[in-house]
Amino acid sequence: MSKTSFYITTAISYVNGSPHLGHAYEGILTDAMARFKRLDGYDVRFLTGTDEHGEKVAKTAEENGMSAQEFADKNADEFREMTALLGLSNDDFIRTTEPRHYTAAQAIWTKLQDKGLIALGKYEGWYSVREEGYFTEDELTEGENGEKLTPNGTPVKWVEEESYFFKLSDYTEKLLDYYEAHPDFIQPASRRNEIISFVKQGLKDLSVSRHKDRLHWGVPVPGDENHVMYVWLDALTNYITAIGYPDEDSADFKKFWPADYHVIGKDITRFHCVYWPAFLMAADLPLPKAIFAHGFINVQGQKMSKSIGNVLSPTGMVEMYGLDQIRYLLLREISHGNDGNFSHDSAVERMNADLANGIGNLAQRTLSMIYKNCDGQIPEPPTSSEEDQKFLNGFYKEMPEAVRDKFTRFRIDEALKVIINFVGEADSYVDAMAPWALKKEDPERMKTVLYVLAEAIRCIAIAIQFATPSAAAKLLDQLKIPEDQRLFEHMSADYALKPGTAIDKPEGVFPRLEFSDEEQKAAG
Ligand code: MSP
């Protein structure tokens, strides 16, 4: 049977700076969904990459005394390195300066222009370089120094220039109808409501080019060397470039478009939920199935910012806490679509409670008892009580079903809670059965109890691979589970541990984290 396809993307990051914890969070969140879907039997394509054009990148390159291309190359490398550092399982990494992307971006432009939906005019209005977005007067507020600010708090400047316009005004009703007919298109619902109110005010035509006298760093407008494409039209197209656009008949395009999820931050919903669907409708292409907008990460209760000096680097975090630990923390602590806060103390508390004292301790205790008391082999379970069966059914049925249900609604934090609750169930089972006491009283029963526990650990390890892939793999390796039996479908009695299998000497997979006073201080 051929597998169902699943296409998921992150936003592509601007290369005007180095990656920070916010970028890392988005990558890890998307990776968790991609990994879960693979574990659940889907044929997954996971795309991430870098957004390299536009005024923001050009300006920062100049401030750094570098050409835009050199600067983009340097920072794109850092983003690519981040994907490896975080263990992201992306299948592709796209850069908008690649030839394949120029082809796609120019093709969509030509399609829109041929349909009479792009025409030359003059733009006069407010532009935020930080957001690379246009804003109307009534959206702006006044900052402390009297400067005008966008709803996201970034400064705007007045721009007047010749520009091509896209007929966005034709799409007000079409988009509203679409949102109505597809209630899950924008997730979570709070973001959907914001977008609907914005579109209800009526959409104006959108400036989609910049004159080369003002900005040369972009994809050239086909047939007009005086203009480059507006960075968002260029950037959004990356999602179809990577699967072969403009070849709509290519195998990848047919298989993966429309995308299942574009995962983005809450600050860029307008571009993804208004402009992008309008461009796609205009290009006669189907719309993505869903846009999921996550919240922002703050550090010690404050927005990350260079001026405060609280910008956390993914490299520093992985070095300090370990990769699986930081992945787990971000996925568990930031709840569905909301902002989250990072603080060193609560991070350590959470990692120790759930990982070191939770899964790590359960596995270490159980596997050490098997190693010592059962000749280092998975014991033969002589008789298994009804209570044991009921306990194991939770791991075979309830746990995978609940995890799947949470993922269907992009509630990854809750999927982890489900797994940790099952770790708690296993801990209670150990305490109630007290296998250490059975060693003398009833060694046969001890074997059954240890077998049942090892089975529970096998299922927990399979389930948690999406969050902590290395530690989960280590546990599955210790239990000698073959590589091809690590999917959700294998959490069943049909794939239960084989008695007599020699296991490796157990080694802890989640060390307890302890930091000296100095280290604590450095972490803030
Ligand atoms: N280049 C655009 C996206 C184009 S997608 C076709 C962009 N780049 S960005 O580098 O500014 O942001 C990349 C992603 O990181 C966005 O989804 C953004 O919301 C997210 N984050 C940036 N800072 C963040 C936090 N502090 N916390 C969580 N995510 C944040 O926007």
> Which of 13-17, 18-22, 305-309 shows the lowest mean pLDDT across its residues?
305-309
Range 347-365 average pLDDT: 97
Residue 297 beta carbon below 6 angstroms from any ligand 1 atom: yes
In the three-class reduction of DSSP (H, G, I as helix; E, B as strand; rest coil), residue 506 is classed as coil
For atom 18 of ligand 1, which residue has the closest CA? Answer: 265
Q: Indicate which atom in ligand 1 lies nearest the CA of residue 236.
A: 6
Number of H helices, E strands in the chain: 22, 18
Rounded to 10 deg, the angle between the 323-333 and 314-321 helix axes is: 110
Angle between helices 443-463 and 412-433 (to 10 degrees): 170
CA distance 397 to 327: 26
Residue with tokens 């050199």, as numbered in its chain: 70
Closest atom of ligand 1 to CA, residue 10: 17
Distance CA 134, CA 126 (A): 6
Alpha-carbon distance of 189 to 348, in angstroms, equals: 32
pLDDT at residue 63 is higher than 70: yes
Q: For residue 126, how far is its CA from the centre of ligand 1 (angstroms)?
A: 21
Whether pLDDT at 158 is above 80: yes
109 lines ligand 1 (CB under 6 A): no
Please state whether the peptide bond connecting residue 258 to the residue before it is cis, i.e. omega within 30 degrees of 0: yes
- Cα separation, 256 vs 41, whole angstroms: 15
Other Cβ atoms less than 10 A from the Cβ of 154: the count is 16
Q: Which residue, by CA, sits nearest to atom 8 of ligand 1?
A: 13
Between CA 208 and CA 112 the distance in angstroms is 11
In the reported structure, the alpha carbon of residue 11 is separated from the centroid of ligand 1 by a whole-number distance in angstroms of 6
Run of H or E including 413: helix 412-433
The pLDDT value given to residue 381: 84
| pLDDT tens digits along 90-129 | 999 999 999 999 999 999 999 999 999 999 999 999 999 9
Tell me the CA distances in angstroms from 209 to 14, 165, 224, 247, 290, one per residue in order. Answer: 18, 7, 11, 24, 27
pLDDT digits (tens, 9 = 90+) for 231-240: 999 999 999 9
pLDDT band at 308 (very low <50, low <70, confident <90, very high): confident
Q: For residues 296-313, give the mean pLDDT.
A: 89
pLDDT at 1: 64
Residue type, 27: G
| Confidence bin at 382 (pLDDT 50/70/90) | confident
Neighbours of 487 (CB within 10 A): 14
At 524, the pLDDT band (50, 70, 90 cuts) reads low
Q: How far does residue 23's CA lie from ligand 1's centre (Å)?
A: 6
CB atoms within 10 A of CB 393: 12
pLDDT at 351 > cutoff 60: yes
Percent of the chain residues topping a pLDDT of 70: 99
Q: What is the C-alpha to C-alpha distance for residues 387 and 517, in angstroms, rounded to an integer? A: 47
Mutate to test the pocket of ligand 1, among 229, 267, 305, 342 (most ligand atoms within 8 A of CB): 267
Q: Which residues pair with 155 in a beta bridge?
A: 149
In sequence order, what E strands does 167-304 have?
Answer: 186-187, 206-207, 209-211, 227-229, 261-265, 291-294, 297-299, 302-303
Please, what is the average pLDDT of the chain? 96
Answer yes or no: is the C-beta of 333 below 6 A from any ligand 1 atom.
no
Which one of 10, 16, 20, 26 would you pick to mutate in the ligand 1 pocket, going by the greatest count of ligand atoms within 8 A of its CB?
26
CA angle, 215 as apex, 163 and 78 as ends, to 5°? 130
CA distance 524 to 75: 26
State mean pLDDT over 153-168: 96
CA distance 340 to 334: 5
Cα 267 to ligand 1 centre (Å): 8
Mode of pairing for the β-strands spanning 340-342 and 297-299: parallel
Closest to 194 (Cα-Cα) out of 258, 143, 149, 151: 151
Pick from 245, 293, 239, 237: which is nearest to 92 by CA? 239
- pLDDT value at 228 more than 80: yes
- Nearest ligand 1 atom to the CA of 296 is 27
Neighbours of 302 (CB within 10 A): 10
Report how far ligand 1's centroid is from the alpha carbon of 10 (Å): 9
Q: Is the pLDDT of residue 503 over 90?
A: yes
How far is the C-alpha of 39 from the C-alpha of 469, rounded, in Å? 12
Looking at residue 462, its pLDDT comes to 98
Residue 145: band (very low, low, confident or very high) from pLDDT cuts 50, 70, 90: confident
Q: Which residues in 183-301 belong to E strands, given as ranges?
A: 186-187, 206-207, 209-211, 227-229, 261-265, 291-294, 297-299
- Rounded to an integer, the average pLDDT of 1-22 is 94
Residue nearest to atom 22 of ligand 1 (CA): 22
Task: Give dist(CA 292, CA 266) in Å, integer.
Answer: 9
Average pLDDT over residues 426-442: 96
User: Is 268's C-beta closer than 6 angstroms to any atom of ligand 1?
Assistant: yes
C-beta of 236 in contact with ligand 1 (< 6 A): yes
**Residue 13 CA to ligand 1 centre (angstroms):** 6
The residue with tokens 């059954």 is 448
Site to probe by mutation for ligand 1, drawn from 13, 18, 128 as the one with most ligand atoms within 8 Å of Cβ, is: 13
- Mean pLDDT, rounded, for 303-332: 93
At 187, is the pLDDT very low, low, confident or very high (cuts 50, 70, 90)?
Answer: very high
Q: Torsions phi, psi of 379, nearest 5?
A: -70, 160
User: Residue 8: phi, psi to the nearest 5?
Assistant: -135, 140
Point out the least confidently predicted range of 132-136, 142-146, 281-285, 516-520: 516-520
Q: Which atom of ligand 1 is nearest to the CA of 297?
A: 27
* Segment among 123-137, 176-190, 278-292, 506-520 with least mean pLDDT: 506-520
Phi, psi (rounded to 5 degrees) for 448:
-60, -45
Instruction: Name which residue sits closest to atom 5 of ligand 1, judged by CA.
Output: 11
Residue 306 in this model has a pLDDT that exceeds 70: yes
